[in-house]
């Protein structure tokens, strides 16, 4: 009890930068501005149920889910390669995986423009080879490419962390019992790596579903995702009430996804064999 004063800076930080902003967000989401003043109402949430906004939500969820699946398909083999017990220069390769994350997020995304645009490097190479140019920018492909590129390390690192800690004797025991590599992976390696998989899915899906920089730069404003919609309500339209309501809905979606991931991660903690 004598050392509780050490927690005061942390509590002050939480109150100023978490509790108060969250309280303001809730207040704005359940109020509307009328001629007579501020009135408590759920009209902001009812407005979000309109088809045009639900379409934006579904598009955001589908793109985020697909990007998460792609990150998993690409990231799991990469994590396995990094976790290989006989791999030389492992720390250097992990550093190369983390290094792009040290660069500003906006710059990393903006760097794709000269590569994907109509007169960019990729189409220039295709032209030199006598192939037709491709429309690589301002579409779903470009947005998903930006998401996978920016969020792939968040999938690789948790899986790598878990795979690198797996007891090799379990794999050797399975091999001694006659299991081929595919069976060892399905019965031993993958079940033991599920905590890292669920952590990676959570860490990729959450920023992917709310991103607005990637869709603005690589999507070229051709379509609106939920992150762009929230940004527009606060910075362009000036409707903080509706923007807060959308933010609360997305917060609920993220908390639900985190709850499912946490539930399965807890169930698989320690790695039960199938």
Domains and CATH numbers, the chain: 43-267 (1.10.3720.10)
| pLDDT given at position 271 | 46
Residue 33 β-bridge partners: 38
Handedness of CA 220, 50, 22, 264 (dihedral sign): negative
- Calpha distance 46→49 (Å, rounded): 5
What is the greatest pairwise CA distance in the chain? 79
Of the pLDDT bands very low, low, confident and very high (cuts 50, 70, 90), residue 266 is: low
> Could you count the other beta carbons within 10 Å of the beta carbon of residue 77?
11
CA distance 172 to 165: 15
| Mean pLDDT calculated for residue range 167-171 | 87
**Residue 260: which of 211, 216, 198, 218 has the closest Cα?**
198
pLDDT of 87 > 90? The answer is no
pTM of the entire structure? 0.87
Quick one: what percent of the chain has pLDDT higher than 70? Answer: 94
- At residue 268, the pLDDT reads 57
Per residue in 7-20, pLDDT tens?
Answer: 788 888 999 999 99
CB atoms within 10 A of CB 167: 11
The larger pLDDT score, comparing residue 70 to residue 139, is at 70
Per-position DSSP letters for 104-123, written without gaps between them: -HHHHHHTTHHHHSTTSHHH
Q: Which of 264, 262, 271, 267 is nearest to 192 (CA)?
A: 271
CA dihedral 221, 227, 229, 232 (to 10 degrees): -80
Dihedrals φ, ψ of 194, to 5°? -60, -40
- Residue 118 has a pLDDT of 87
DSSP string, 183-224: HHIIIIIHHHHHHHHHHHHHHHHHHHHH--HHHHHTSTTSS-
pLDDT at 253: 86
Angle at 170 between CA 168 and CA 171, to 5 degrees: 70
* pLDDT for residue 20: 95
Higher-pLDDT residue of 273 and 245 is: 245
Q: Which pLDDT belongs to residue 151?
A: 95
More confident residue, 261 or 135: 135
Asked if 138 and 218 touch (Cβ cutoff 8 Å), the reply is yes
């Amino acid at each position: 009890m004598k050392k509780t004063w050490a927690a005061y800076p942390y509590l002050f930080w939480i109150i100023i930068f978490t509790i108060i902003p969250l309280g303001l967000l809730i207040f704005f989401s359940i109020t509307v501005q009328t001629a007579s003043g501020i009135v408590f109402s759920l009209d902001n949430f009812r407005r979000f149920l309109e088809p045009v906004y639900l379409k934006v939500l579904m598009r955001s969820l589908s793109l985020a889910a697909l990007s998460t699946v792609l990150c998993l398909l690409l990231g799991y083999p990469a994590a396995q390669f990094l976790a290989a017990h006989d791999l030389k220069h492992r720390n250097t390769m992990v550093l190369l995986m983390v290094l792009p994350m040290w660069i500003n997020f906006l710059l990393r995304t903006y760097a794709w423009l000269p590569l994907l645009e109509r007169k960019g490097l990729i189409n220039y190479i295709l032209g030199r080879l006598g192939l037709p140019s491709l429309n690589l920018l301002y579409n779903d492909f470009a947005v998903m490419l930006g998401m996978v590129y920016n969020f792939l390390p968040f999938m690789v690192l948790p899986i790598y962390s878990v795979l690198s800690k797996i007891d090799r004797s379990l794999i050797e025991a399975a091999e001694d019992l006659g299991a081929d590599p595919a069976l060892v992976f399905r019965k031993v390696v993958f079940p033991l790596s599920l905590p890292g998989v669920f952590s990676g899915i959570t860490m990729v899906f959450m920023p992917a579903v709310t991103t607005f920089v990637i869709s603005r730069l690589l999507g070229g404003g051709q379509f609106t995702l939920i992150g762009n919609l929230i940004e527009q309500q606060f910075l362009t339209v000036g409707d903080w009430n509706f923007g807060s309501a959308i933010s609360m809905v997305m917060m609920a979606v993220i908390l639900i996804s985190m709850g499912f991931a946490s539930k399965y991660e807890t169930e698989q903690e320690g790695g039960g064999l199938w």
